[in-house]
Each structure stands twice: as structure tokens, then as C-alpha cells.
Amino acid sequence: MDFNFTDEQNMVRDGISRLIREQYDWDTRREVIASETGWRPELWAQLAELGMLAAPFSEEDGGFGGGATETMLIMEEFGKGLAIEPFIPSVVCAGGFLKYGGSAAQKEEYLAGIISGEMIFAFAYAEPRGRYDLADLQTTAKADGGDYVLNGHKAVVIGAPWATHFVVTARTAGDQRDRSGVSVFIVDKNADGVSLRDYGTVDGRRASEVYFENVKVAGDALIGEADNGLPLIEQVVDEATAAVCAEATGAMKVTNEMTLDYSRQRKQFGTPIGSFQVLQHRMADMLMEYEQSVSMSYLATIRLSEDVATRKEAVSSAKVRIGQAARFIGQNAIQTHGGMGMTDELAVGSYFKRLSIIEGEFGSVDHHMRRHIRLNAAA
Amino acid sequence: MNLEFTAEENAFRDEVREFIKNNYPDNIEGRGVQDELSPEDMTAWHKILGKKGWSVPAWPTEFGGTGWTPTQRYIWSEENARVNAVMPLPFGVAMVGPVIYTFGNDEQKEQHLPGIRDGSVWWCQGYSEPGAGSDLASLKTTAVRDGDDYIINGQKTWTTLAQHADWGFFLCRTDPDAAKPQQGISFILVDMKTPGIEVRPIKLIDGGHEVNEVWLTDVRVPASNLIGQENMGWTYAKFLLAHERSGIAGVARSKRGVEQLKDIAAKELLDGKPLVEDMGFARKISQLEIDLSALEITELRTLAGEQAGKGPGPESSLLKVKGTEIQQRLTELTLEAVGYYGTPDFRSFPEDGSNDFPIGPDYAHHAAPTYFNMRKTSIYGGSNEIQRNIITKMILGL
Ligand SMILES: Cc1cc2nc3c(=O)[nH]c(=O)nc-3n(C[C@H](O)[C@H](O)[C@H](O)COP(=O)(O)OP(=O)(O)OC[C@H]3O[C@@H](n4cnc5c(N)ncnc54)[C@H](O)[C@@H]3O)c2cc1C
């Protein structure tokens, strides 16, 4: 048993932590979010320069030999600063698909681009009526000679406005919710028939509805096996889920610190509100929720490389626990701040909003509870 | 013991239902989110009710009240909630109005009560200050007597919809040397157009503009705007806080909210079946309904006590705490129900009016902002911690 990080991992953490501290002060973040494009491409370039986009890849794949732990450390810091950059869609998701399912040629063509930051991927998987079910797909890809033709509508694709490419899940065979018949494709954003409807999100990011209308892709756009993409999708989404869990713990940590600070400064009835026992116990509960969440984030990260059932159980356990903690901490942080917590002026409101959205990202508490129950039943 | 309405009460319900059906303004029908409504929209129903004589049901009849029993008032709020009616804002009708007819002089009644009744005058509540929230009695805004005027200086905050207000009722310190902070406070009516008043918007986490800072610099108001006696304002403010109990729990509105949630959960899918059929989600809805019926009967018991002449008491704290918990729970479940379509920020949608690219179902657009916004309900009107302190002290005697 060892909960220490290697020197290399500590370097990754220090590097990203410094970047976030220096580049993500509160006012800058607000300005960036409100700007036309809603982000800073130059910061993405800086992340690439620092090697952050290479951190979770093996040396053969052009990375630094890291993996899920590096992702966890980076995402914790993202969470602390409420960074909006599409690390999960581009590096964890698209990078993950290529890492586990990509051919040598695909890796050469795309992984290098992801790591250098020149290519930015969004992950187009969710559909308007599919909720969190990864196999509930109405988007189709029909074989046409050696090519495929895609049709469908992907919902709330995070980071799509900033992306150059998409990883798209589509049905190549079977019925809407069948586990088989699902395939994964790479689609250039500029391909004919791809259209986007861009918008902002309530937690300060950008997303799009993405429409595919008779979009033709070559056969080599397929990642992994045709019709048998779901296991790969589940693995990658579990990694993304673990990453968002780590992000949540970072956001919770800062949220708790801000709340504690505020309770020391804010005086009512001639005394800091932190002296009221009901608020003390609440903050004690918030701390416990945070510590339990960190434990679950570690657990999920550690178990990502184990057998499928173990991996799924750990990731779902983590997402349930962290989803619940995210709500508890977010709501109680606002409550403890009183009216100030309701304003757009203080950072705490944005942490609350991000934590609220994280609750549902890659599956809500209910979704992962159901998966946990099914795994138990199958064991 | 029975819960049935009498024949007269049923007839009354039919009458008000019919009236609402025939008179509720079409252009605001079904719309409820404050931020989307113009000031005209927000007062449209108030003005219609004013003409009908139904805008201030709870007031004594001599001042324009309807003389309805608490049960009738309950039926009235139920029927309005059924259509999600945009009700008269509380600041005039439920707050300053009762203070004026109880403690004001005849000129004040004549000057102010008609405008409150007919909805032509918009009021705001200037109590809270940056340093005085839960501890309201520590307020610092001063009013200094100067001949026939008071000169007011200070800063109020969280003043709801002050950007539209014609008048405000302010708590100001008139005796800085009083023995206790509660003493030395006065209740003063202020014309919001008076020079020296600056209203600055505060944006909330849902992106809406519903509250403001109100800065007062050498604001000169006639001393005749003082309500009751100088330095007795705390008594009036407390009267006001305890006065309006019906509606504090928001039962009727939450019932309507549960129906809306069920509609959404019937449209949303899980594994291809309506979400409402999922045991996990159905259980949450049932729990909410059960909590709501407990609250409803508790409120009815309180109303019955009121009908029997029992004065307002600390049980209103129970109604506030449980009522707001249910309102907040409703918004949590709505956000859960809409899944990923809770994430888009509807304020950022392209405004070309094109419907070719709908961004999720309409009912999802407000799910997240409403969830964020409703956190306020456990903070304002005496936070839920303060309400529990009141229960502890006044009921438990600890
Ligand atoms: C949307 C909104 C609209 C509002 N509209 C108006 C308006 O129109 N007019 C107006 O005058 N005011 C208005 N208010 C102000 C509202 O009444 C105050 O926010 C409220 O009184 C709480 O005060 P505060 O915000 O200063 O929080 P604080 O009093 O600083 O409280 C911070 C936290 O400490 C807790 N706390 C404080 N004292 C105790 C204690 N003794 N024991 C245990 N816990 C305690 C609180 O419960 C809260 O959780 C509004 C507020 C909001 C959010």
C-alpha cells in the first residue's frame, strides 16, 4: 500500500498547479468566459508546452510514460481553479480511444496532434433522448463501400466550439439500445454535412449540439472494432469519469476553504458566524464529505487498470459518493455565505455551479447507483 | 375532524376558478420565471385583481380586504397556483400595507393604501445592509432629524426589484445612543425618486437581476413619512415579519411544481421508458409528495388556529423551513430529470429565432438557473438556521 506520488508525478502536479495559480485568477477567468470564443487557445498551447497534454501517455505513444494518476493530479488542479480547458474530451477521451483502440496509423495521425495541442477533440456521445446510456444511440453509421455515412444529432458536446475533430459514437448494427452494433469514429469538424449550434453552459464552458447529415468518412476513421465498440467506450468513459471525480475533489477543497475563511471573517451578532455551532458542525460535515471524496477519487483511479467488473464498480462507487458530496458541499457553501453566496461576484457561486453540473457529468448519482446494483447482481 | 370543504367553500372555489379562467392575462399565462417578465407583466394580474377588489384579501375589510376566512384565502392561493399565476408582489400587499394600516396615521393610509391595492405603486423593502443580515438590529443607516425632514445616509443591500420601485420602506437608526440595538430604529417611507438615492444592480448566480444595492446619500425625506413613533421601528418590523403567514410555506405552488415535475419525468426517458416509471426516480417524487402533504396539513392546522383567533406564533418558522426545503428539492429533482440538457445556459442561445436547431426541450432551459436561484429561499426571510433558532428558543424553550 502506498498513497505517495512519484517525483515525476509531483512535478506534474507542481507544474499544473503553478500554471493555474498564475493564469487562473478569478477576474481573468470571468473575462475569458465572457469573451467571444470563451477560452484562451494560448493557454492550451502552454499546457502542451508544459507537457501536460502528454502526461497520461506512454513513451511509445509520444507521452511521458504516465497514466491515470497523472490525469487525476491534473484534474484536481483544474478543479481548484475551475479551469475550463477541454482536457477531458481531448486528452482523456479522444486520447484514450486512440491509446486503447487506435491503429498505428491513427496514433501517428491524431495522437501526436492531441499531444502537441494542434488538434483538439470533442467527444460526441450523448444523444437528446439517451440520457446516460452509452449504447442508447440513434446516430447511425452505414457502411458504404469502404466508407461510412453518418447521420444523427449529438447533444451538449462539451468543448465542441473549440474542437478541430470529434470522436463520435454511432450505431453500425442492431437496435437502439443493443450492446452490440456500436462503433467509434473520428470525424473532422470541417467534413461536409457536419453542423454545430454553439452555446455557453451554466458552469462557464462552451458546448454545441452537433448534427451529422450524410457525413462521409473513410473506413480508416473507425477506431477499434466495428460493431464492438461499447467495451472500449465504457473503458474510456470510466477514465473520464474518474477524471471528473478528481476535478470535483479539487473544486470541493477550494469551496470548503472559501467557506471556512468566510465564516471567520463574517460577523453577525458581534461574533464571527464560524462561532455558531450549527455552522461548525456543517463545516465539519463538509470536510468529511471532502475526505471521503478524495478517497473515492483515488480508488477509482487505482482500479481503472484492473478487470472490467472491478473497474466499473470502483468508478461507479466513486461517482455516487462524489456526486452526493458535490451537492452537499456546494449547497452548504452557498448557505453559509448567506446572501453573498447568491451573487455572481463571489467565486463560491461558480464553484457551486460547476459542482452541480459535475453531479450529472458521465452519469448522475442515480445512473451509477443503478450500475452498481447491476454489477452486484451479476457478481 | 374532517378535511372537506363546506358547500359554500366549494361554491367559492368554483367562483374564483371561473374568475381566474376568464380574467388571467393571456400574455403571461404559463410564464413564471421572474426574470423573463417585464415590470408590466409582474403587475398585470395585481391590477386586474385591484379592480375586482381581490388584491388584498387578508386586509381588514375597512381597508379593502375581502373578508374571506383563512380557508377561503387558502382556496384562493390554491386556485392561483393551479394556473401558475404571477401574484401581487409581497412588498406592498403583505409587508408595508399592513404596517401602514396598523401603525400609520390617516394621511399615510390615504396616501399609500390605494396605490398598494390597485398595483399602481411598486414597493421595495430596505432592511438588510452589508453588515446587517441575520443580525438585522445591527443596521447602521441613519436618519437624522433636520427641521421637518429626516436626512438619511447609509447603504441597504439585497433590495429585491428596487430597480422598478416607486417607494421603499426603510429601517433607519434614529437614536445611535439607545441602550439596545433594537431600540433607536425607525420605520420610514421613502419616495425612490428622492435625490441622493442610487440603485445599483447585483447579478445573482443564475444570471438574473432581481436584487440591488441601494445607496442613500443625504436623502431628504419629510418627517411625515415616519410610521408610528420615532425609535419604535423594530416593533413594526417584527410585526411585519410575523404578519403574513399564509403563503409562507408555498404549498399550493409546490403542488403545482410536483405536477410539472411529473410531466417532465413522463417525457424524459430512461432505458427507453418514461423516467417516471423508474422505481428510483418514482420513489423520490413520492417522497416529495408525502413531505408536501404533511406540510399542507400542518399549514391547514395553523390556519384553523388562526380562524379560531390564535395569533401568529413561532410555528410559522416550521412552515418556512419545511416549505423552502420542499421548493428546493423540487428544483433538484427537475435538474436531475432533464439530464444533460440542464447544462446549456439558455441566456447564451443564439437569438435568430430559428427552430431548426432546438437546444433540448423547453422545460429544460430553466432547470439549472431555477435550481441555483432557489437556494435563496433558505437564506432570505430569516435564514433556515435563524428559523431553527426561533423554534429552539420559542417552542422548545432552550
Ligand atoms: C435573493 C434575495 C433577496 C432578498 N431580498 C431582500 C429585500 O428585498 N429586502 C431586504 O431587506 N433584504 C433582502 N434579502 C436579504 C436577506 O434577508 C438576508 O440575506 C438574510 O437576512 C441573511 O443575511 P446575510 O445574507 O447577511 O447572511 P448572514 O446573516 O451573514 O448569514 C450567513 C450564514 O450564517 C448563518 N447565521 C447567521 N446568524 C446565525 C446564528 N445566530 N446562528 C446560526 N447561524 C447563523 C446564516 O443562517 C447563514 O447561513 C434578500 C436576500 C436574497 C438572497
Nearest to B269 among A131, A209, A357 (CB): A131
Cβ separation A136–B272 shorter than 8 A? yes
Q: Are residues B200 and B322 in the same domain?
A: no
Nearby residues of B267 by Cβ (< 8 Å), 6 or more positions away = B274, B361, B363
Residue B179 inside a domain? The answer is yes
Within-domain flag for B168: yes
* A281 close contact with B: CB closer than 8 A: no
DSSP of B320-342, one letter per residue?
Answer: HHHHHHHHHHHHHHHHHHHGGGG
pLDDT (tens digit, 9 = 90+) per residue, A166-212? 999 999 999 999 999 999 999 999 999 999 999 999 999 999 999 99
Flag whether B106 is in a domain.
Answer: no
Over pLDDT 90: what percentage of chain B? 80
Task: Name chain A contacts of B345, Cβ cutoff 8 Å.
Answer: 199-202
Question: What is the distance in angstroms between the Cα of A199 and the nearest Cα belonging to chain B?
Answer: 6
Whether residues B257 and B140 fall in one domain: no
CATH number of B271's domain: 1.20.140.10
Q: What is the largest CA-CA distance in chain A?
A: 78
Considering the domain architecture, whether residues B190 and B285 belong to the same structural domain is answered as: no
**Number of domains within chain B:** 3
Active site residue B244: yes
- Asked whether the beta carbons of A82 and A354 are under 8 A apart, the reply is yes
Q: Which residues are A140's β-sheet partners?
A: A151, A171
Q: Is A361 exposed, middle or buried (0-12, 13-18, 19+ CB in 10 A)?
A: buried
Which residue among A270, A335, A360 sits closest to B378, beta carbon to beta carbon?
A: A335
What atom in ligand 1 is closest to the CA of residue A342?
Answer: 53
Residue ending a domain, choose from B88, B115, B147: B88
| C-alpha cell of residue B316 | 410559522
Q: What is the pLDDT of residues A15-32, one digit of tens each?
A: 999 999 999 999 999 999
CA angle at residue B128 from B369 to B186, to 5 degrees? 150
Same structural domain, B329 and B385: yes
Give the end of a domain, one of B29, B62, B88.
B88
Residue B194 shares a structural domain with residue B319: no
Q: Which of B105, B236, B108 lies closest to B170, judged by CA?
A: B236
Confidence of residue B289 (pLDDT cuts 50, 70, 90): very high
Whether residues B258 and B183 share a domain: the answer is: no
What is each CA distance from B211 to A301, A332, B49, B326, in whole angstroms? 44, 21, 26, 23
So what's the pLDDT on residue B245? Answer: 57
B278 and B378 belong to one structural domain: yes
Residues B267 and B363 in one domain: yes
The answer to whether the CB of A338 is under 6 A from ligand 1 is yes
Residues B311 and B389 in one domain: yes
Task: Quote ipTM for the complex.
Answer: 0.97
- Indicate the residue among B198, B232, B266 that finishes a domain: B232
Our CA dihedral for A46, A47, A52, A58, rounded to 10 degrees, sits at -80
CATH of the domain at B209: 2.40.110.10
Averaged pLDDT, B139-144: 98
C-alpha grid cell for residue B152? 438619511
B214 and B153 assigned to the same domain: yes
| Shortest Cα distance, chain A CAs vs residue B397, angstroms | 18
pLDDT value for B337: 98
What are the residues facing A115 on neighbouring strands?
none
B218 occurs within a structural domain: yes
The catalytically annotated residue of B9, B213, B244, B332 is: B244
Q: What is the pLDDT of residues A250-290, one digit of tens each?
A: 999 999 999 999 999 999 999 999 999 999 999 999 999 99
> What pLDDT, in 10s, does the model give residues B47-96?
999 999 999 999 999 999 999 988 898 899 899 998 989 999 999 999 99
**Tell me, what amino acid is at A317?**
S
Q: What is the rounded distance in angstroms from the CA atom of residue A217 to the CA atom of residue A214? A: 10
The residue nearest atom 1 of ligand 1, judged by CA position, is: B376
- Scan residues 122-181 of A and list those with Cβ closer than 8 Å to B: 126, 128-133, 136, 155-156, 176-177
Q: Provide the residue range defining the domain that includes B299.
A: 249-394
Who contacts A49 (Cβ-Cβ below 8 Å, separation ≥6)?
Answer: none
B269 DSSP assignment: E
What are the residues facing B1 on neighbouring strands?
Answer: none
Whether residue B306 is predicted with pLDDT greater than 70 in this model: the reply is: yes
Dist. CA A258–CA A272, nearest whole Å: 15
**Ligand 1 centre and the CA of B5: distance in Å?**
38
In a domain, B105, yes or no: no
B224 and B253 both lie in a single domain:
no
Assess if residue B101 is contained within a domain. Answer: no
Ligand 1 pocket, residue B366 CB under 6 Å: no
The answer as to whether B242 is a domain residue is no
Domains and CATH numbers, chain A: 7-119 (1.10.540.10), 122-228 (2.40.110.10), 231-378 (1.20.140.10)
Q: Are residues B152 and B258 in the same domain?
A: no
The CA distances from residue A220 to A18, A102, A226, in Å, are 40, 10, 11
pLDDT surpassing 60 at residue B196: yes
Chain B residue with minimum CA distance to A334: B375
Residues of B in contact with A338 (CB under 8 A): 133-134, 379, 383
Average pLDDT value for chain B: 93
A327 at the B interface (CB within 8 A)? yes
Whole-angstrom Cα distance, residue A240 to residue A72?
10
| B36 occurs within a structural domain | yes
Average pLDDT, chain A: 97
Nearest atom (ligand 1) to Cα of A336 = 49
Q: How confident is the model at residue B212 (pLDDT cuts 50, 70, 90)?
A: very high
Residue B205 to residue A197, Cβ atoms within 8 A: no
Coil, strand or helix at B168: strand
Q: What is the CA radius of gyration of chain A?
A: 21
Rounded to whole angstroms, how far apart are CA atoms A186 and A24?
32
Q: CA A364 to CA A367: how far, in whole Å?
A: 5
